[in-house]
Amino acid sequence: MTAKVITANWGRPDVVSLEGYRAEGGYGGLRAALERTPAEVIETVKASGLRGRGGAGFPTGVKMSFVPQDTGKPTYVVANFDESEPGTFKDRELIEREPHQFLEGLAIAAYAIGSHEAYVYCRGEFLHPGRMLARAIAEAYGAGIFGPSVLGSGYELNVVLHRGAGAYICGEETALLSSLEGYRGQPRLRPPFPAVEGLYGSPTLINNVETLCNVPHILRNGPEWYASIGPEKSPGTKVFSVSGKVERPGNYEVPMGTPLRTLLEAHAGGILGGRRLKAWTPGGSSTPMLTDEHLDVALDFESVAAAGSLLGTGAIIVMDETDCIVEATRRLFRFYAHESCGKCTPCREGTWWGNRVLDRIEAGYGRPEDLPLLDDLGRNILFRAFCALADGAVSPIQSSLRYFRDEYEAHIAERRCPISGRGPEAGARTELERGVSAPVEVTS
Amino acid sequence: MGVLSPELRATAEGIKARYPAGRERAAIMPLLYLVQSVEGCVTEEGLREVGELLGITTAEVEAVASFYTMVRLRPTGRHVVSVCTNLSCALRGAKDVYEAAHRATGIVHGGELSEDGVFTVHEEECLGACDAAPVVQIDFANHDRVTPERMTELIDALRRGEIPQPSRGEAPEDFRHASRILAGLEDPGRGDGP
C-alpha cells in the first residue's frame, strides 16, 4: 500500500504546532518553491497532475497558470475552507490536525501567482478549527513565514482569516467571493472566471483546503513522485470521508483509484452490524447515489463518472438494507431547499415543491403520478439554474428513482413506509410528519 | 446609548482594517458578529450601527444579515443548541436527539426559543463531523456521538449554569461569547490587536 501523504502525521499530536510541523520537514516545500521562479512552481504543480479536491477535479497547476500576473492589478489567493457538502469532513480534520501543512500550501500557491494577499474563507460553524487556524497563522507570522519577508526571501505575504456565517452556497467559488466582499453569498455569472476577475475584480486563484495540503509534498518530493501514485489521469492520494452505516466512520487517505470495497472493508470496518450495503454516495449528497452493484468501482474521477456518478469531495455516505431510500432522499433534498440562495426560480421553487412531494410519499400520502412528477421536476431543475447547487439537488432524486423506483412504488401502493412501517395509520412520530398529514395538491 | 460602546467602536475600526483600503464592506460579517456578541442577536439598532460604520444603509446591512443563518435577527437564547439532522447523522439516530432537545428545553416544534430564554434549539444542516454522528453543537462547540440521554444531560447541565466540555477545543461561555470569537476578538491574528 502506498504510504499516506497528507495524513501521514495524524498519529502525532505535536504536528499541530509550528515546531512539531517543522520537525517533520514542514515548510521545506515552501523553501524549495522560493528557490524557483513562480513559473517553475506552476510547472511543477502541473507536472504532478494534481487535480482539485473540492469536487470539480480541475487540474490545479493549469488553474494557477490561468491567473494573469501582468494586469497591473493585485492577484489574490483564496482558500475555500467552507466545507459544507453533506458527508464531507476531511478539510476540518486536515486543519485540526496539521494546520501548517495547509498554510504552507497556501503560501506556495500565493508565490506561484505573485499574490501578496491570501484569504482563508472558513466556514462559520467551524468555531474550533477556525481558532486553530487563527493561532497557526499567528505562529507563522511570529516565525517570519508570513509578513514582509517570507522565510527571509523578501517576498511579502499576508494572510487574513475570514469566517462565514452559515450558508452552504458560499462553498461555490463565485458565491464565496460575493460573501468575502461583504455581500449576500449569491453566485456570479461566469465568464469572467475568478482567475481573471475574482476578488475585488482582480485575478484570483481559489483552491480547496485538501488541494493545497498536497502542494508542499509535491514541491518537496517532486512531481514525478506524486504522479506515480494512483491512476494516470487522477494521480495522488485522496482523503475519503466515510460515514453512515459503517463500523468505523472516519477519514481515510488512500491512493486514488482504490475500490470502494477495499475502502469499506480494509479501512472502515465493513457495514455496521454485518448488514448489507444498500446505497452510497461517492462524493457527498450532491453526487448521484450508487448501489451494492458498484462495490468494485475504483474511486477516481474517471471511474466514478463512468459508473454514472461523480467523485465530488470523496464523501461516502453509506446506507444499509434497513434504511429507507425515500426518507434518505427526502432528507438530502430538504437540505437543498434550505440552502438554495433564491436567485434562480428552478432551484428556489423546484426544491421547495419537490420537498413537499417527497414528504407526502414518505408519510404515506403519495400518488402514482408523483413519480413522473418527480422525474419532470428533476429535468426542469437540472442545468437550468445559475450554479451547481441546483444540479446537486437533482442528484439524490434522479439516482434514487433510477435504482430504487420499486421502493417509491411500494410507499405509494402500501400507503406507508415499507421499511419503518410508519404511515398515517401507524401514527406520525414528529410534528414534521404530522404537518404533512393532509395531501398537498401539486400538479405538473 | 448605542449598541457598541466607544471602546467597541474602536475595536470595530480594527476589524475594518483587516481588509484593503476601500474594501471595508468585507468587514460586514465580523461586525455583525461583534454586534451579536453584545446584544445576543442583531437588532434593528445593531444593523443601523453596522451600516454607519461601513457607510452603507441599514437596508443594505439587513439584506446581507438576513442571508446568513448564524446572524440571528430575532430573540435568541443564551445558548444555541444546533442538532444536525442531515443524512449521516439521521442514519445514526439524530431524529431522536432532536426530539430530546425539544423535550428537555420545553420548546415545541415550530418554536425556537425556550420560555425562560435560556435555549434556542436549531435544526442544523451537516456540521462536517459525520464520523462522530449524531453531532450537536452548543454555541458552535461540537459534541460527538450524542444520544438522546446525553442530549438531555447537556441541556440540564446548561440550565444549572455549567458549561459542558466539548469533544474538541474550548467551550464558549454562551452564544454571545461564541459571537465574540467569530468576530475574531479572542484569538491572535492580523488586524485583531494589540
Rounded to the nearest angstrom, the gap between the alpha carbon of residue B131 and the centroid of all alpha carbons in its chain is: 23
**What's the one-letter identity of residue B152?**
T
What sign results for the dihedral spanned by CA atoms A232, A236, A242, A246?
Answer: positive
Model pLDDT, residue B102: 97
CATH code: domain B1-76+174-194 is: 1.10.10.1590
Distances A72 to A77, A196, A203, B21, B153 between C-alpha atoms, Å: 16, 12, 10, 17, 59
Evaluate whether B172 touches B140 at the Cβ level (below 8 Å).
yes
pLDDT mean by block of 10 residues, chain B; 194 residues: 92 94 95 98 98 98 97 97 97 97 93 94 95 98 98 98 96 98 85 36
Reduced 3-state DSSP string for chain B: CCCCCHHHHHHHHHHHCCCCCCCHHHHHHHHHHHHHHHHCCCCHHHHHHHHHHHCCCHHHHHHHHCCCCCCCCCCCCCEEEEEECCHHHHCCCHHHHHHHHHHHHCCCECECECCCCCEEEEEECCCCCHHHCCCEEECCEEECCCCHHHHHHHHHHHHCCCCCCCCCCCCCCCHHHHHHHHCCCCCCCCCCCC
Residues 6+ apart with CB under 8 A from B117: B75, B77, B78
Nearest CA to CA, how far is B117 from chain A (Å)? 22
Residues 6+ apart with CB under 8 A from A417: A324, A326, A327, A362, A364, A411, A423
Residue A443 pLDDT > 90, yes or no? no
Would you list the domain boundaries of chain B?
A: 1-76+174-194, 79-171
Model pLDDT, residue B16: 95
Residue A41 pLDDT > 70, yes or no? yes
Distances A380 to A338, A344, A358 between C-alpha atoms, Å: 19, 12, 17
Name the B residues in 11-50 with CB < 8 Å from any A CB.
18-20, 23, 25-30, 32-33
Distances A420 to A29, A395, A411 between C-alpha atoms, Å: 53, 24, 11
Name the B residues in 135-164 with CB < 8 Å from any A CB.
137, 140-142
**A285-305 pLDDT, tens digit each:** 999 999 999 999 999 999 999
Counting residues of chain A whose pLDDT is more than 90, the rounded percentage is: 91
Evaluate whether A391 touches A383 at the Cβ level (below 8 Å).
yes
Rg (CA), chain A: 23
* Structural domains of chain A in order of their starting residue, each with its CATH number: 13-227 (3.40.50.11540), 237-320 (3.10.20.600), 325-435 (1.20.1440.230)
The reply to whether A382 touches chain B by the CB within 8 Å rule is no
Nearest CA to CA, how far is A47 from chain B (Å)? 32
Q: Give the one of A84, A165, A323 whose C-beta lies nearest to B126's C-beta.
A: A84
> Is cis: bond before B194, omega within 30 of 0?
yes
Model pLDDT, residue A272: 97
As beta bridge partners, residue B39 has none
**What's the one-letter identity of residue B183?**
A
A409-417: long-range contacts, CB 8 A cutoff, minimum separation 24: A409/A368, A409/A371, A411/A326, A411/A361, A411/A362, A411/A364, A411/A366, A412/A361, A412/A366, A412/A367, A412/A368, A412/A370, A412/A371, A414/A364, A415/A364, A415/A365, A415/A366, A416/A364, A417/A324, A417/A326, A417/A327, A417/A362, A417/A364
Residue A90 to residue A212: CA distance in whole angstroms: 13
Closest chain A residue to the Cα of B172, Cα to Cα: A127
Nearest CA to CA, how far is B47 from chain A (Å)? 14
Note whether A165 contacts B68, CB cutoff 8 Å: yes
**A361-414 pLDDT, tens digit each:** 999 999 999 999 999 999 999 999 988 999 999 999 999 999 999 999 999 999
Output the average pLDDT for chain A: 93
At B54, list the grid cell. 461601513
Residue A369, number of CB atoms within 10 A of its CB: 12
Distances A279 to A241, A244, A313, A325 between C-alpha atoms, Å: 16, 11, 17, 8
Evaluate whether A170 touches A130 at the Cβ level (below 8 Å).
no
At B13, list the grid cell. 475600526
The reply to whether A339 touches chain B by the CB within 8 Å rule is yes
Residue A360 to residue A369: CA distance in whole angstroms: 13
Residue A403 to residue B75: CA distance in whole angstroms: 45
Evaluate whether A444 touches A376 at the Cβ level (below 8 Å).
yes
Residue A437, number of CB atoms within 10 A of its CB: 12
As beta bridge partners, residue A241 has A251, A315
Rounded to the nearest angstrom, the gap between the alpha carbon of residue A399 and the centroid of all alpha carbons in its chain is: 19
DSSP helix/strand/coil, A328: helix
Which pTM does this prediction carry?
0.95
At B29, list the grid cell. 460579517
Residue A435 pLDDT > 70, yes or no? no
Model pLDDT, residue A426: 52
Model pLDDT, residue A3: 84
Residue A393 to residue A400: CA distance in whole angstroms: 12
Q: Confidence class of residue A317 from pLDDT cuts 50, 70 and 90? A: very high
Name the A residues in 133-152 with CB < 8 Å from any B CB.
134-135, 137-138, 141
Residue where the block lists cell 444531560:
B153
Closest chain B residue to the Cα of A146, Cα to Cα: B190
Model pLDDT, residue A425: 56
Say how many Å lie between the first and final Cα of chain A, rounded.
Answer: 53
The reply to whether A13 touches chain B by the CB within 8 Å rule is no
The reply to whether A184 touches chain B by the CB within 8 Å rule is yes
Note whether B130 contacts A87, CB cutoff 8 Å: yes
Residues 6+ apart with CB under 8 A from A326: A358, A361, A362, A400, A404, A407, A408, A411, A417
DSSP helix/strand/coil, A194: coil
**What's the one-letter identity of residue B57?**
T
As beta bridge partners, residue B149 has none
Note whether A92 contacts B129, CB cutoff 8 Å: yes
Residue A360 to residue A364: CA distance in whole angstroms: 6
Counting residues of chain A whose pLDDT is more than 70, the rounded percentage is: 95
Closest chain A residue to the Cα of B32, Cα to Cα: A165
Residue A371, number of CB atoms within 10 A of its CB: 18
Cα–Cα–Cα angle for A220, A224, A227, nearest 5°? 105
Nearest CA to CA, how far is A364 from chain B (Å)? 19
Cα–Cα–Cα angle for B69, A177, A187, nearest 5°? 75
Evaluate whether B136 touches B97 at the Cβ level (below 8 Å).
yes
Nearest CA to CA, how far is B45 from chain A (Å)? 19
- Give the residue-averaged pLDDT of A127-132: 97
The reply to whether B177 touches chain A by the CB within 8 Å rule is no
CA dihedral (A423, A425, A431, A432) in degrees, to 10, reads 30
Note whether A165 contacts B33, CB cutoff 8 Å: yes
Note whether A242 contacts B140, CB cutoff 8 Å: no
DSSP helix/strand/coil, A370: helix
Residues 6+ apart with CB under 8 A from A158: A116, A117, A118, A146, A147, B190
Residue where the block lists cell 494586469:
A71
Residue A434 pLDDT > 70, yes or no? no
Q: Confidence class of residue A423 from pLDDT cuts 50, 70 and 90? A: confident
Residue A312 to residue B6: CA distance in whole angstroms: 48
Give the CATH fold of the B79-171 domain. Glutaredoxin (3.40.30)
Q: What is chain B's length?
A: 194
CATH topology agreement for domains B1-76+174-194 and B79-171: no
Name the B residues in 64-123 with CB < 8 Å from any A CB.
64, 67-71, 82, 85-88, 90-92, 95, 99, 108-110
